[in-house]
Amino acid sequence: MPLPLLEFTPTSRNTRVPGFELPGDEQPRLYSTERSLSVSEKGDLIEAAYLQIFHEQQMLSFCRQTFLESQLMIGQITVREFIRGLATSDAFRRLNYEVNNNYRFTELCVQRILGRQVYSEREKLAWSIILATRGLQGFIAELIDSDEYMRHFGEHTVPYQRRRVLPQRTQGEWTFAHTARYGTDYRDQLPRPSREDPLRASGLSGSGLRLNLGSDEKRLLIVAISVVAAAALWLVLHAPAG
C-alpha cells in the first residue's frame, strides 16, 4: 500500500497572493490550446513546454519527444499529457533525476511543473517520500494530477512560474530557469577549475610535455621539425637587408 502524501502547511508566498496588476514585460506569456491555434502557434507552444520542463540549458536535440509532439499537434493528447510525457521521458530522467538526490529533484519538479517554490523543508520531505515509494512515474503523476495543477493550468495551459512579479516592484523574483539543475552534493563532485596556466595544469608545457608516439610517428615528427628549421634558416639568410 503506497504511503499518502505527508501533510505540510503552505507558507505566505507570492503564488498564494491574488494578482490585479496589468501585464508587463516581465509577466509570463501564457500558452494554451483553449482556442484554435495555427501550426506555427502550436510550434511556439511546444517550444514553451520544452523550455518550462527542460529549461534553456537542456534544450538538446536528443531531448525532443517527436511522437508526443505529433500527438499534440493533431489533438490526440492535451497539453497536460504532453507535460507528463516530457517529465517522465528518459532525457529528463538522465539530465535531472540521475544527477540529483531526491530532495533537490522534487524541488526542481515543483518549480517546473507547479510553477512555484516549495513551501518548506517539510514539503520537500513529503514529495521525496512519494518519489522514493512510487518511483518517478508515480511522483510526476501525483504532481500533474493534483488539484493545484488543475486549478492553475488545467488540461490546456503550459505551466509557468506563477506570481514572479508583484506590484510596486521594479523587478520580479529570480527565475527558476536561472538556477542550477543539480544540488551542491553533485556540484562538489565536478572537476574544479585550476588557477594555474591551462597548459601547465594539463601537463602539456615545459618538462611536463609527454607525447606517446610510435617509431614511425617519431621519424615523421623529426622530419617535420627539420623542414621547419631549414625553412626558417633560409628566410633569415635571404631576408633583404635594412
> What ranges do the domains of the chain cover?
14-187
Residues 134-187 pLDDT 10s: 999 999 999 999 999 999 999 999 999 887 665 555 555 556 555 665 666 656
| pLDDT of 206 above 70 | no
Stretch 95-106: mean pLDDT, rounded? 92
Model pTM score: 0.66
Between CA 61 and CA 82 the distance in angstroms is: 17
Domain boundaries 14-187, CATH class: mainly alpha
Q: Residue 34's pLDDT band (boundaries 50, 70, 90)?
A: very high
Phi, psi of 32 (to 5 degrees): -145, 150
Between CA 161 and CA 203 the distance in angstroms is: 46
The grid cell for 24 is: 508587463
Point out which residues pair with 32 in neighbouring strands. 157
The more confidently predicted of residues 133 and 24 is: 133
Q: Residue 204's pLDDT band (boundaries 50, 70, 90)?
A: very low
Which residues have CB under 8 Å from 203's CB, separation 6+?
Answer: 209, 210
